[in-house]
Amino acid sequence: MVNKSKLMENLTDLPRVDADTIKFYSGLVDRNGMEVLFPDLSAGCINFGYWNKIPPKISKSARLSSQIRLYEEVISFLEVSKHQSVLEVGCGRGHGVQMLLNSNIDSFGIDAVPSQISVCRKNYPKEADRFIQGYAGSIPFPDDNFHGIISVEAAQHFPNFSDFAKESYRILRKNGALVVSTFFYTGFFPNPMINGILPENVLGSHHAIGIEQAKEILNTYGFSKISVHSIGNHVFKGFCTWAKQQKPETEHSCRWIEAFESELLDYYIIKCNK
């Protein structure tokens, strides 16, 4: 039996930012591997992508398009109208914020990594003031401020998902929507079998949690209408096909599909409302 109240207490003791994540996305570690898996690394998206069809040989343009398509899929779950406000938590290189602006959504982005914010401002200089360095567990905006929040393949880096849920609820307006996409374990806790597929240090640097745990946390902090949508079939096979094609030094990059097919983890879109 899972002691959920004890689990919630333990989560509050975690740090608000992961120093290893900042080093990783600042290009201080594994930059060669990153450049292989995520083309146009200096300015482009960094996510697994969303794939409807997987060609026998994936072109660079198809890989880049898959990453934009993941954003499109996540944004489709938002319930916002033109000129309403949306925050992206973990905004990366700024492309999600710009996509929302192109749809006349008043969007902003925060990211814990200072160099990411610098890239956002370089990519979109006319919108530079929309990109702010900040943490998912301590969001630098006032209460009841946004109609929507998105987070695309970033929550696995948040050391404290509880802080993120609490802060998201605080800054959302009444009935505002939170849409989160990333990989989660399929149960409440990870199955130890996953360490035979993906190195433990990889999952250690990615603070992934179980999908049931994520739902419990969101419910605890007041969110309602919590829905979970599995999109692993559209994510892992395409990404791993690309990874095998690129032959990265990090062999585990090709093995996410094994963890998915073994039902140890999945890629989800979670949508809920304040």
pLDDT higher than threshold 60 for residue 189: yes
Q: Taking a C-beta distance cutoff of 8 angstroms, is the pair 220, 226 a contact?
A: no
- Is 118 a domain residue? yes
- Domain with residue 215: its CATH number is 3.40.50.150
48 pLDDT tier (thresholds 50, 70, 90): very high
Residue 25's pLDDT is what?
63
How far apart CA 153 and CA 150 sit, in angstroms, is 10
Residue 54's pLDDT is what?
93
**135: its two tokens:** 């943490």
- Is 65 a domain residue? yes
Spatial CB neighbours of 118, under 8 Å, sequence gap ≥ 6 = none
Residue 97's pLDDT is what?
97
- Is 11 a domain residue? no
- Is 207 a domain residue? yes
14 pLDDT tier (thresholds 50, 70, 90): very low
Residue 207's pLDDT is what?
82
- pLDDT, one tens digit per residue, over 129-161 is 999 999 999 999 999 999 999 999 999 988 899
Scan for tokens 């599909």, then name that residue.
257
Instruction: Please report, in angstroms and rounded to a whole number, the separation of the first and last CA atoms in the chain.
Output: 29
Q: How many domains does the chain have?
A: 1
- Give the domain range for residue 243: 46-273
- Is 64 a domain residue? yes
- Is 6 a domain residue? no
Higher pLDDT, 5 or 22: 22
- Is 142 a domain residue? yes
